[in-house]
A and B are shown apart, each in its own frame.
Chain A
């Protein structure tokens, strides 16, 4: 557990995390690894955990009829995969696939949600961290939708 706590404390996403919160989160954490090409999760599956990437790269994508898998974002070391675990219906809306050997910490979502309900300070801290990620990704999505590199860009 000590090792996991240290990894979580040192992960960029949890920079400045309260020691007590770190212990609570570590109780829901485990080490995972994915080989290149292996899926972390698929669209439509329950969002029952999220991942702190320690090493490697993960592609987020959607399979579109006639186009195959379309990737809309890649994530790497220091980033998190998955925000759908936070808000009902707790379901993934895209696929996540390791592009190369990826090591991560998986956080059990049910476990952490229960702890957030029990301790709203922890819940607020988590919400602030995930909200920052959501805003940054929303911003990026807007730019992608605008298609700024198109002929009108």
Chain B
């Protein structure tokens, strides 16, 4: 294992491409270095430095099979993420990672896989979808239920439309509100869970989104018959060091950076309802 100084020292990567996904949401493709391959597992995150501003934990949102291209989808909300989201081709970025526990893609083999994503939560789930679809025959039903604010805030829209044309994945997208030109679902993403086709006795659910949405999604998945051991969620807290030195991301007895961000639901039993953490 690398020593502490190594894991805290960022490498320099360069922005190769920047594209707008939605209002305030941008995807950056980074190049880690000439000829460098960067291995990561779906669900992991990197620490990205906007030089002169600061560092932030950003999920990897690209295809794990494309080792030379690091894709991050960023919502510009604070000083660091806003600066990162403004970077353009050729700009340098500090890069540490990958960090954290991954989605249980291997464990899901032979099971139905239900992905419940809310808003920007689709970004850390996209690498899992790439893996599931690349090895589609290893899984039962694959279902993506995605909820977001409005039709113009749907992430990866073109890709979702491409996936929808496949016959081996069920995709339902819902928005909180829409104008008259929207033909899809309107309502919260949890409404889609009772209608989804999966066998709760042989299913694994991957959930990522705002914490309130995840709490309700977990309840709906339980109502549908899934046990907590089959539900996995990606948590977000204030991650600073990413290697469990600083304690900023402590969540009860766990550190999100070291023990997560992906957790099996039974490991967090009771913690999600605790207001104090």
B176 touches A147 (CB 8 A): yes
Q: Are A143 and B213 closer than 8 Å at their CB atoms? A: yes
Which of under 10, 10 to 19, 20 to 34, or 35 or more describes the interface residues of A?
Answer: 20 to 34
Q: How far is the CA of A68 from the CA of B181 in the complex (A)?
A: 10
**Chain A residue at minimal CB-CB distance from B77:** A151
- In angstroms, Cα B24 to Cα A144, docked, is 20
Does any Cβ of A come within 8 Å of B212's Cβ?
Answer: yes
Cβ contacts under 8 Å, B51 to chain A: none
* A-contact 0/1 string along B139-160, CB 8 Å cutoff: 0000000011100010000000
Q: How far, in angstroms, from A59 to B177 measured CA to CA in the complex? A: 11
Q: Are B212 and A149 in contact (CB under 8 A)?
A: no
Q: What residues of B have a CB within 8 angstroms of the CB of A151 in the complex? A: 24, 75, 77
Q: Which residues of A contact B187 (CB under 8 A)?
A: 72-74, 140
Q: Decide yes or no whether A6 CB sits under 8 A from chain B.
A: no
Task: Give CA–CA (A73, B183) in the complex, Å.
Answer: 12
Would B191 and A71 count as touching, CB distance under 8 A? Answer: no
Determine if A134 is an interface residue (Cβ-Cβ < 8 Å). no
- B148 and chain A: residue at smallest CB distance: A149
Pick the contact of B153: A60, A140, A149 (CB < 8 A): A149
When the two chains form their complex, are residues B119 and A146 in contact, meaning their CB atoms are under 8 A apart?
no
Question: What are the residues of chain B within 8 A of A153 when measuring CB–CB?
Answer: 119, 210, 212-213
Q: Which one of A69, A72, A73, A150 lies within 8 Å of B180 (CB-CB)?
A: A69
B185 CB-CB contact with A under 8 Å: yes
Write out the residue numbers on chain B whose beta carbons fall within 8 Å of the beta carbon of A61: 180
Distance in angstroms from A51 CB to nearest chain B CB is: 17
Residues of chain B within 8 A of A144, CB atoms compared: 176-177, 188
Residues of A within 8 A of B209 (CB): 148-149
Residue of A nearest to B183 (CB): A99
Q: Given A148-B212, A149-B210, is A71 in contact with B24 using a C-beta cutoff of 8 Å?
A: no
CB of A121, distance to nearest CB on chain B (Å):
27
Q: Which residues of B contact A59 (CB under 8 A)?
A: 186
Number of residues of chain B lying within 8 A (CB) of chain A: 31
Given known contacts A70-B177, A71-B180, A146 and B188 CB-to-CB distance under 8 angstroms = no
- B178–A70 contact, CB under 8 A? yes
Contact of A149 among B149, B178, B183 (CB under 8 A): B149
In the complex with contacts A71-B177, A140-B187, A140-B191, A146-B182 CB distance below 8 A: no
In the complex, the answer to whether A71 meets B178 with C-beta atoms within 8 Å is: yes
Q: For A71, give its contact among B179, B210, B213 (CB under 8 Å).
A: B179
Do B180 and A74 have beta carbons less than 8 Å apart? Answer: no
Partner of A72, one of B119, B153, B186: B186
For B185-205 the 0/1 string (1 means CB < 8 A from A) is 111101100010000000000
Cβ contacts under 8 Å, A69 to chain B: 179-180
Q: Are B179 and A147 in contact (CB under 8 A)?
A: no
Assess whether B77 is in contact with A71, with CB atoms less than 8 Å apart: no
- Do residues A143 and B216 form an inter-chain contact, with CB atoms below 8 A? yes
Interface members, chain A 112-131 (any B CB < 8 Å): none
Could you jot down 29 A-B contacts, CB within 8 Å? Answer: A59-B186, A67-B179, A68-B179, A70-B179, A71-B177, A71-B178, A71-B186, A72-B187, A73-B186, A74-B174, A74-B187, A76-B195, A99-B183, A140-B188, A140-B190, A140-B191, A143-B188, A143-B212, A148-B210, A149-B118, A149-B120, A149-B147, A149-B149, A149-B153, A149-B209, A150-B149, A151-B24, A151-B75, A151-B77
The 3 closest A-B pairs by CB, nearest first: A149-B119, A153-B210, A148-B210
